[in-house]
Amino acid sequence: MKTITLNSPFDMHLHLRDNDMLELVAPLSSSSFVGAIIMPNLVPPVSTKQEVIEYKKRILNATKDDNFTPFMTLFFKAYTKEFLEDVKDEISAIKLYPAGITTNSEGGVESIDTVTLAPTLNAMAELNIPLCVHGETNGFVMDRESEFMSVYEELAIAFPKLTIIMEHITTKDAVDMLDKYDNLHATITIQHLMITLDDVAGGMLQPHLFCKPIAKRYEDREALQKVALEGHPKVMFGSDSAPHPKHAKENCGCAAGVFTSPIALQVLAQLFDDNNKLDNLQKFISDNACNIYNMKPLNKNITLEKKDFVVPSVYETSKEKVVPMYAAETISWSIVK
Ligand SMILES: [Zn+2]
């Protein structure tokens, strides 16, 4: 039986939500991963030290006895250096959302200009706090990420010491930016490695594959696969796994987000194996993240084997129900329990 053991697998972009949904989905991440960068877009967004500490506690409670570290983030606002110095040890990054661009981002930044943001971004650079960015304009939906590239360039040039993560990149344009600026890095999701807009809307509409940024063209997927499969040092895995209740997805007015936590490692093993690049998966799932975030690997190994895994059609508790990507389909790799 073909197997692979991954050391210290990280999910560098994860939505765990709160309350009943947190209880349902947190164990589905902590059984596959040793740690994750936790997104702060709750209602209200996580933006104080107290909120960070309390949310972290709720996550640790929900993951029970699993060996799992939530790396917390703050929702970007104009923060003072004094505040950042005080909160620094509790957080791993700050996440910037353009206002209103995705789920619970209404309080995001109205206009990203390097002069207004300078005090906060300079303090972050000095304190080595990375900036995670949801990089989309409010233009035409297929062009939003590409249109945002000029903003990334301005940020990269104006703040050369700031570690900037282009979150969930979906386009060849974003991939091309990686080698242009030393301080630009990226996360890539499962869905953007696996699907194009054709899978979402080319046939019957597939609400469980609908997310922001929306899946793009074949040439975009090819560019994303190339850097992931080669273990490019500036890209890391970030699932952007974003659970919504089943009724909010199968609805007139479908919420954006794909739920991938419980299938992520299995799909990645299959993708890397199919392309004869299994040896590079360790870089994509952990090593690159450690280098970019300047952190040490944690002590947890996950072994996968080439054995069929039938994805459950739904994950549920008595209070919540969420449908994963590839529901009821078969993946050719499974996690060894
Ligand atoms: Zn996200």
pLDDT for residue 142 is more than 90: yes
pLDDT for residue 182 is more than 80: yes
- Across all residues in the chain, what is the average pLDDT? 96
CA of 272 to the centre of ligand 1 (A): 23
CA of 313 to the centre of ligand 1 (A): 23
pLDDT for residue 153 is more than 80: yes
- Which residue numbers are catalytic? 240
Query: How much of the chain exceeds pLDDT 90, in percent?
Result: 93
CA of 260 to the centre of ligand 1 (A): 12
Say how far apart CA 13 and CA 188 lie, in whole Å: 9
| CB count in 10 Å sphere of residue 166 | 26
Say how far apart CA 54 and CA 105 lie, in whole Å: 21
Are 29 and 36 spatial neighbours (Cβ–Cβ below 8 Å)?
yes
For residue 206, give the 3-state DSSP assignment: coil
Instruction: Write out the two tokens for 295.
Output: 């952190």
CA of 2 to the centre of ligand 1 (A): 33
For residue 165, give the 3-state DSSP assignment: strand
Q: What is the mean pLDDT of residues 123-130?
A: 98
Q: What is the mean pLDDT of residues 39-47?
A: 93
User: What protein residues have CB closer than 5 angstroms to ion ligand 1?
Assistant: 240
pLDDT for residue 181 is more than 90: yes
Give, for 187, the enclosing helix (H) or strand (E): strand 184-188
> What is the per-residue pLDDT for 102?
75
Per residue in 275-306, pLDDT (tens digit) is: 999 999 999 999 999 999 999 999 999 999 99
Q: Read off the pLDDT band of 65 (50, 70, 90).
A: confident
